[in-house]
Structure 1
Amino acid sequence: MERPIAGPQSLLRALNGRAILEALGRRGPLTRAELMSETGLSRTAVTQVLRMLEGHGAVAPAGVDRDTRGPAAGRVALHPRLGFAAAVHVDHHAAHVALVDPTGTVRAEQHGAFPPRADRAEHIASLVDACRGAVSGPLLVAVVAVPGIVTADGGIRDDQGPDGGAFRTALAARLGCPVRVENDVNLAALAELTAGVGADLSSFALLLLDGGLGAGIVIDGVLHRGFSGVAGEVMYLPQTPLPIGAPVLGDTVVGDLALTHGRDVEAPLGDHLEAAAAGDAAALAMAAEIGRRLTVVAGTVALVLDPEAFVLSGTAAHPVLVDAVERVAEEFAAQLPMRFLVSSFGPEAPLIGAIGEAASALRVRLFNDILPATDRRRR
């Protein structure tokens, strides 16, 4: 990393302070020598900035490094009581909440199904409250992964229709902090982009099969949300012989396929796939059809975007479906070669993405709060 250029002292303090805070937020506890290596700052600059940050209560001692040769060196870390962020994954049945610190480490978790006719915001807030009982520090920001189309202003368009941002507003009021709402499949794609199988890809499309089918699209290393948040809504792509507007995959489709093949129409897809893995002929026929539909969706996307690979996530990452997709893709290979990869995180991908984005948002909030305050104290 290049050393910051010379300039006004207040600007230098801000640049140096941000560099150290980012290193501590990204890596966790570090020694002064490690901070010098991470930031490119001199020992004097690191010492001066740490003294400033300690005076503001932004950093605190975090033990000593006994792993390296030579005298033991003290480590410093962001103060544990600076604050936390909430990462939330909401599906049609339940909510999973994780409280994270600035490094992205999960400090508390709660999971709970939505009670009948429950208010979603209140239920999520109650899970956050339970998590906060296990940690000490303020809640500063929340990132929520939800199914459905999410508009630029945080509004949700799902099975209940557009909410105009009502959910985000209600949850922010209940939690007492800013709330960012994001599509769950987009967050799953971000998880793969930052720490999963998509990290080494310039472009990919993540296909997540859960209650429905959605795609998260990454182009040149950037998530593509579309003008109104509709990018990736592939569940209704036209597919012969289905009528226009019919869902390609989803819970209703699984029930219809189960009825066609003489299996339990109430059973979840996972049960059918486990039966297929055990050799059940009817379940294998269901899996083959689902694999065909997934592959046709991928082919349609490939003809428009030509991504480097497709990442199968959620239930689509089940080995039975992966095999079914690869068999159909092999039939298309001469006309349209496609590469398929399996998600690094499976069903947890949306929550992993929410955790990463929540930690990032928390670091930005802390930096913006800490640096102006430290600069005011030095004037």
Structure 2
Amino acid sequence: MTSSPAPGTPGWLAQRNDQAALALLLDEGPLTRNRLGELTGLSKPTAAQIVARLEEAGLIRAAGELSAGRGPNAVTYDVRLDRTLGVAIDVDETVLRAAVVDPRGTQHPVATLPIEPSRPRTAEDDVRRAIDAACAAAAVDPAAIVEIVIGVQAATDLAADRLNFTDTLDGWPMQNPRGALEAGLGLGVTLENDVNLAAIAERAEGAGADAAGFALLWLGEGLGLSIDLDGSIHHGATGGAGEIGYLPAPRSAMAIDPDAEDLQELVGGSAVARSASTALGRPLDYAAALAALAAAPEQMLPELAARIAFALTPVIAVLDPSLVILGGPTGVAGGAALADAVSAALRTSSGWDPVVRTTGAPTDAVLLGARHVLVSRLRARLLPE
């Protein structure tokens, strides 16, 4: 399956047939030889040859039997999903989340590990812990892992293999992190900004599934933005596209929060806590503010929506997206009511009027995006061009 015979030769044709059969098995699940022949349009003898080659290569296995009425039952075949696996990892400030991924995209349990402040950190140790925990949760052999995709709270400069704009990756190298991990782990490694992975999840099965393009504003302890241009993530020259938390807060926002110097301080987690404390008349931390926003949004919405509108205005002025998605913990807690309030605040304060929606991937969005990337990478290993 890894050789590259000359186009048009019998070997090339056999390889194409094998790839077509593997793709069908990944998409459809277990199939008989006859059904493979029907779906590929190939003869029964050719389908039998494909099955024999794939079985000999260890790529498929007999999965069961299917009643054929009169006569013997037909054997069904399926892809050996246990041979080519990946792990999706989300590294945030306090925890590691990880889940095993196979080429079919099967759901596996999510393992969560705390980042212990007293434990010396390295990138390799963080990732090894995440892989081991994910494999234990899914009851799979870590030796089957060949690829990992890691979501990090950083701008990822893919060309230079460098991390920028981060203060949550203690012990990780800023230069050559991917190369160091690949050398230490012996695996294929992809490092991607966490909000970009969340945007991939929105495109694949969330609020941006049918959009020509969109801007995902991630509202959590930190602030981030991802830009989807017709299904492609815009990274910028050095991976820094979307790092809007560093932009200065506009002068017009001083009436709401005169102490906010940048957009992070205007709509980040601490700002949401301050806003909620003022609205509800009692001191709240960020977690309590989110609970209050979900339970009684009407008291918090006006000021919070105005803050978010101020943060969105420069984004919309530059990109003019038809759709803005509010993600992250604040976006999830505020839901549709927050999206509607932000839309109204934008019209009032700036005249811009994009569609504003709440996230369609409210749970483990970063892992979900990483899983979609991994499925593509794992299938490419099985189905090389």
- Answer whether TM exceeds 0.5 for this pair: yes
1:355 aligns with 2:371: yes
What residue number does 1:46 align with? 47
What residue number does 1:275 align with? 292
Q: Structure 1 counterpart of 2:215, which letter?
A: A
Identity %: 31
3-state SS of the aligned residue for 2:353? coil
3-state SS of the aligned residue for 2:65? strand
Instruction: Please give the residue correspondences for 1:171-182 in structure 2 after superposition, counting only pairs within 5 Å.
Output: 171-182=181-192
Alpha-carbon distance, 1:96 to partner:
0.6
Q: Contact 1:184–1:350 (CA<8 Å) still a contact in 2? A: yes
Alpha-carbon distance, 1:249 to partner:
2.1
Q: How many residue pairs were aligned?
A: 358
Label 1:324 to 1:199 Cα distance change in 2 as closer, same or farther (>3 A).
closer
1:206 aligns with 2:216: yes
Q: 1:320 aligns with which of 314, 325, 334?
A: 334
Q: Aligned partners of 2:102 and 2:144: how far apart in 1?
A: 11
What residue number does 1:221 align with? 231
Q: Aligned partners of 1:131 and 1:234: how far apart in 2?
A: 32
What residue number does 2:202 align with? 192
What residue number does 2:162 align with? 155
Label 1:298 to 1:246 Cα distance change in 2 as closer, same or farther (>3 A).
closer
What residue number does 2:283 align with? 264
What residue number does 2:353 align with? 337
What residue number does 2:96 align with? 95
Please say which of residues 301-310 and 91-100 is displaced more in the overlay. 301-310
What residue number does 1:140 align with? 146
Q: Aligned partners of 2:209 and 2:201: how far apart in 1?
A: 9
Q: Contact 1:125–1:174 (CA<8 Å) still a contact in 2? A: no
Label 1:87 to 1:39 Cα distance change in 2 as closer, same or farther (>3 A).
farther
Q: Aligned partners of 1:187 and 1:236: how far apart in 2?
A: 20
Label 1:43 to 1:107 Cα distance change in 2 as closer, same or farther (>3 A).
farther
Q: Structure 2 counterpart of 1:357, which letter?
A: V
What residue number does 1:131 align with? 134
Q: Per-residue displacement from partner, 1:148-204 (whole Å, max 9, x unpaired)? A: 211114422212699444443443344321211001111111111122222211111
What residue number does 2:267 align with? 249
Which consecutive unaligned segments of at least 5 residues does structure 1 have?
Answer: 1-5, 372-379
Label 1:258 to 1:333 Cα distance change in 2 as closer, same or farther (>3 A).
closer
Alpha-carbon distance, 1:234 to partner:
2.4
Label 1:13 to 1:305 Cα distance change in 2 as closer, same or farther (>3 A).
same
Which consecutive unaligned segments of at least 5 residues does structure 2 have?
Answer: 1-6, 255-259
Instruction: Please give the residue correspondences for 1:70-81 in structure 2 after superposition, counting only pairs within 5 Å.
Output: 73-81=74-82
Q: Aligned partners of 2:234 and 2:69: how far apart in 1?
A: 47
3-state SS of the aligned residue for 2:305? helix
Q: Contact 2:85–2:102 (CA<8 Å) still a contact in 1? A: yes
Q: Per-residue displacement from partner, 1:90-140 (whole Å, max 9, x unpaired)? A: 111101111111111144542111011441531331231233342135210
Q: 1:291 aligns with which of 305, 309, 312?
A: 305
Alpha-carbon distance, 1:226 to partner:
1.5
3-state SS of the aligned residue for 2:244? coil
Label 1:65 to 1:308 Cα distance change in 2 as closer, same or farther (>3 A).
farther
Q: Per-residue displacement from partner, 1:308-335 (whole Å, max 9, x unpaired)? A: 3122222243353642341242254483
3-state SS of the aligned residue for 1:241? helix
Q: Structure 1 counterpart of 2:379, which letter?
A: R
Label 1:69 to 1:222 Cα distance change in 2 as closer, same or farther (>3 A).
farther
Q: Structure 1 counterpart of 2:188, which letter?
A: P
3-state SS of the aligned residue for 1:103? coil
Q: Aligned partners of 2:44 and 2:51: how far apart in 1?
A: 10
Q: Contact 2:332–2:359 (CA<8 Å) still a contact in 1? A: no
Q: Structure 2 counterpart of 1:135, which letter?
A: V
Q: Structure 1 counterpart of 2:60, which letter?
A: V
Alpha-carbon distance, 1:43 to partner:
4.0
Label 1:82 to 1:213 Cα distance change in 2 as closer, same or farther (>3 A).
same
3-state SS of the aligned residue for 1:340? strand
TM-score (norm 1): 0.82
Label 1:337 to 1:223 Cα distance change in 2 as closer, same or farther (>3 A).
same
